[in-house]
Structure 1
């Protein structure tokens, strides 16, 4: 191989790749934690080095030219190789000091992680913790996080998953709102119940209706994916919410609704990590501490 012919700057290729995937320089800059002028210069430098035009501007978006489109697959292969290299290198690290990124949903982050992180920092003060709070699954293969707490088992074979317990979901409401509801013998009788929903999709409704419920869009007068807002609206008597018992029981202003009928559903709790990162001493240490603490919470 003639290494002298490889004069491309990886940062320029990465700028091209992320801009192509995001569609705008502003979105790409945000994804790379960079600035639009920097990315614009990097893409321009790559175009000069290749002597071709990679993008055309259409409105606010950048659209790949035919030449840019033909190079995109190669750039993606390079990006995947760089990620694999980074994962492998991180996995070889035996230094305990450093940062570990943990991805968790809003409720887990707000209710469970503060005490766990406090204990973790006491045990391993050399490990810094960065928490990505999102109800969407973080892409561990693309290093959006090192460890994720999820409610589903990953499909990728190169991810390690450990089940740490089960999350029991109940309907919760304010005492005033629950007192206004009739006595029922089955959830199918909740014709006029007001529920605070996550989004306008029918996914939750379909699952519950298959179990015998009788819900429609009219039962969800308020929609918000922000679960802490759901909680506050519930306290105000605006309807019932689906909430894990570890969190709901800790709220003095909430009461389990129709408790005599049992929980609404049970969801598994998985701790997930990329297999390369599992060999990193600090990531393994955080994984083990998180596992022990979450098991203590969910399996007591």
Structure 2
């Protein structure tokens, strides 16, 4: 089958418009239309429903688009491997991780990585949804549980515990709880219970909720929880790695921390030899070693 026609079909399906696809491909609308029509004749089917607002894929069109999407992603992966120089690290690296880990641990440390590899372009995608690495939704992932997808290379980086913290100013004003029952006299700051989160943290939230906190502030990510705690709003549930960068946080109710949560780095088997992946992996491992060393010096490990 003619790849040029498939490439043009894919662009039209992605844009939902002959005109927009033509602009992207630097082709006229009539040229794009001819290629799509020729492909429909070759397959003896209709790929698009045409109406005034644009184009919508037919059932047959959806099947073909799924195939061209997979082909496009595979070609992109191959191109990335070809572009990886034996001596340089450059180009785009798409990294996915959770909002909390990305904003509170990874992003603040990227300055060092860019100093070593100034031509590296990182697309940092922070979301709780687990992206599909084999389908090339991202190149590398850092997640707070072991990835279950097949054909992934994975490495355990560290463990994290979710603990209760408050600012010194808040505790001076409202007192320090000595048992979990005392949470009734405090404002609890936590992730919203409907937000995807680590299971052990969810269990801690439920336990605290069962003791009827005096007030509750729920946020959909740990960065928001941290900001509220730092600004003296209450007692918050946070990952223990934030203590390094925010030494003013005071741990409370230490007996109520969670079980250790493993943190994994993963990437597709096909990117095993990517120098960008290797550079990022080595950087993250080095930063975690420095983090653990600093935490030991602070007496937090």
Same fold (TM over 0.5): yes
1:223 counterpart SS class: strand
Matched, 1:12 2:9: yes
Correspondence for 2:68 among 66, 71, 78: 78
C-alpha deviation, 1:276, in angstroms: 1.1
> Residue 191 of structure 1 contacts residue 214 of structure 1 at CA under 8 Å; is this kept in 2?
no
Once residues 198 and 152 of structure 2 are traced to their aligned partners in structure 1, the CA distance between those partners, rounded to angstroms, is 31
Once residues 36 and 181 of structure 2 are traced to their aligned partners in structure 1, the CA distance between those partners, rounded to angstroms, is 62
C-alpha deviation, 1:223, in angstroms: 2.6
When normalised by structure 2's length, the TM-score is 0.72
C-alpha deviation, 1:258, in angstroms: 1.7
Once residues 82 and 202 of structure 2 are traced to their aligned partners in structure 1, the CA distance between those partners, rounded to angstroms, is 49
C-alpha deviation, 1:97, in angstroms: 3.7
When normalised by structure 1's length, the TM-score is 0.72
Q: Deviations over 1:217-243 (max 9, x none)?
A: 975732322433322222333332221
Correspondence for 1:112 among 105, 108, 128: 105
| CA RMSD, 1 decimal | 4.0
Q: Deviations over 1:53-89 (max 9, x none)?
A: 624779x99865xxx1133123212321332232234
Paired position in structure 1 for 2:264: 270
2:76 counterpart SS class: helix
2:187 counterpart SS class: coil
Paired position in structure 2 for 1:292: 286
C-alpha deviation, 1:14, in angstroms: 4.4
Kindly report which structure 2 residues correspond to 1:216-235, keeping only aligned pairs within 5 A, or say none.
Answer: 219=213, 221-235=216-230
> Residue 14 of structure 1 contacts residue 75 of structure 1 at CA under 8 Å; is this kept in 2?
no
Once residues 204 and 145 of structure 1 are traced to their aligned partners in structure 2, the CA distance between those partners, rounded to angstroms, is 20
Can you give the 5+ residue segments of structure 2 that lack an aligned partner in the other structure?
297-301
Kindly report which structure 2 residues correspond to 1:131-142, keeping only aligned pairs within 5 A, or say none.
Answer: 131-142=124-135
> Residue 107 of structure 1 contacts residue 247 of structure 1 at CA under 8 Å; is this kept in 2?
no
Once residues 252 and 112 of structure 2 are traced to their aligned partners in structure 1, the CA distance between those partners, rounded to angstroms, is 33
- What is the aligned length? 277
C-alpha deviation, 1:117, in angstroms: 2.6
After TM superposition, the structure 1 stretch with the greater mean CA deviation from structure 2, 200-209 or 285-294, is 200-209
